[in-house]
Amino acid sequence: MKITSLSLGLITALVIFLPKEMPATTLSPVWSDEFNQPVGAAPDDTKWAYALSGDGWGNHELETYTNSRANSSIVSDPDTTDGKALAITAVKDAQGHYSSARLETQGKFSTAYGRIEARLKTPNGKGFWPAFWLLGAKISKVGWPACGEIDILESVDANPTVVYGTLHGPGYSGNHGLQRKLTLPGGALLSAGYHLYAVDWSPGRIAWSVDGKTYHVETASSLPAGTHWVFDDSPFFIVLNLAIGGDWPGNPDGTTTFPQSLMIDYVRVYRLTP
Provide the CATH number for the domain around residue 68: 2.60.120.200
216 occurs within a structural domain:
yes
Q: Please report the pLDDT score of residue 24 as a whole number.
A: 64
9 occurs within a structural domain:
no
Q: What is the span of the domain harbouring residue 207?
A: 14-273
35 occurs within a structural domain:
yes
4 occurs within a structural domain:
no
| Residue in 61, 104, 149, 218 annotated catalytic | 149
8 occurs within a structural domain:
no
| Residue in 63, 117, 154, 218 annotated catalytic | 154
Rounded to two decimals, what is the model's pTM?
0.91
Return per-residue pLDDT of the chain as tens, 274 residues: 544 433 333 333 333 333 344 456 799 999 999 999 999 999 999 999 999 989 898 899 999 999 999 999 999 999 999 999 999 999 999 999 999 999 999 999 999 999 999 999 999 999 999 999 999 999 999 999 999 999 999 999 999 999 999 999 999 999 999 999 999 999 999 999 999 999 999 999 999 999 999 999 999 999 999 999 999 999 999 999 999 999 999 999 999 999 999 999 999 999 998 8
Q: Is 117 one of the annotated active-site residues of the chain? A: no
Q: Is 154 one of the annotated active-site residues of the chain? A: yes
160 occurs within a structural domain:
yes
3 occurs within a structural domain:
no
64 occurs within a structural domain:
yes
The domain total for the chain is: 1
Three-state secondary structure of the chain: CCCCCCCCCCECCEECCCCCECCCCEEEEEEEECCCCCCCCCCCCCCCEECCECCHHHCCCCCEECCCCCCEEEEECCCCCCCEEEEEEEEECCCCCEEECEEECCCCCCECCEEEEEEEECCCCCCEEEEEEEEECCHHHHCCCCCCEEEEEECCCCCCCEEEEEEEECCECHHHCEEEEEECHHHCCHHHCCEEEEEEEECCEEEEEECCEEEEEEEHHHCCCCCCCCCCCCCEEEEEEEEECCCCCCCCCCCCCCCEEEEEEEEEEEEEEC
